[in-house]
């Protein structure tokens, strides 16, 4: 193996190393701001997407209070988003002292139901986990709000 070949191998390898480094940096650069949201940003003016006509099998259709002062209250999920709280505008109005006025809501996105805490005082729990962001829920998920438990049912 001649000196020149070895020299070329060395230079080529260093070039490859730096091409890799620079490509990684260019990926980071193009990733800096992500992609623009394709939909125009003026919420409220857009027509609301049509409601799914018939709920699919295995999808919950109603929310029911299963434990607490207001056991038995049912709200239909077709009126989503469902606001849960002590306020008058809540779809499920609870007389629980540990519930905030606008406590949590149940919303639908892309065929999946989510529960989201609305900055309540005592928090919304799914199992032992306190919610910090919207979390997907399904049939039979028990959501604890104050001393009340609501459940998604068919």
Q: Would you tell me which residues interact with another protein (CB under 8 A)?
A: 1, 5-7, 9-11, 13-14, 16-21, 23-25, 27-28, 30-31, 33-37, 41, 43-44, 48, 80-81, 83, 86-89, 97, 101-102, 105, 107-110, 112, 114, 116, 129, 132-134, 136
Tokens of 66: 């299963």
Alpha carbon 37 to chain centroid distance? 17
**Inter-residue contact 143 to 124 (CB < 8 Å):** yes
Residue 24 vs 66, nearer CB to another protein: 24
Residue 66 vs 150, nearer CB to another protein: 150
How far apart are alpha carbons 70 and 130 in whole angstroms? Answer: 22
Residue 64 vs 116, nearer CB to another protein: 116
For the bound state, the minimum distance from the C-beta of residue 89 to another protein, rounded and expressed in Å, comes to: 6
How far apart are alpha carbons 60 and 74 in whole angstroms? Answer: 12
What does residue 126 show for φ and ψ, rounded to 5 degrees?
-115, 105
């Amino acid at each position: 193996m001649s000196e020149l070949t070895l020299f070329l191998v060395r230079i080529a390898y260093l070039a490859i190393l730096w091409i890799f480094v620079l490509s990684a940096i260019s990926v980071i650069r193009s990733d800096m701001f992500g992609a623009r949201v394709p939909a125009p940003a003026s919420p409220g003016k857009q027509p609301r997407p049509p409601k799914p006509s018939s709920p699919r099998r295995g999808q919950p259709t109603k929310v029911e209070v299963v434990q607490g002062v207001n056991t038995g209250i049912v709200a239909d999920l077709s009126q989503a988003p469902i606001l849960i709280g002590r306020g008058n505008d809540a779809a499920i109005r609870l007389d629980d002292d540990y519930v905030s006025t606008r406590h949590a809501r149940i919303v639908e996105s892309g065929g999946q139901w989510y529960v989201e805490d609305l900055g309540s005082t005592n928090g919304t729990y799914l199992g032992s986990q306190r919610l910090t962001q919207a979390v997907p829920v399904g049939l039979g998920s028990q959501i604890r709000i104050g001393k009340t438990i609501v459940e998604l049912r068919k």
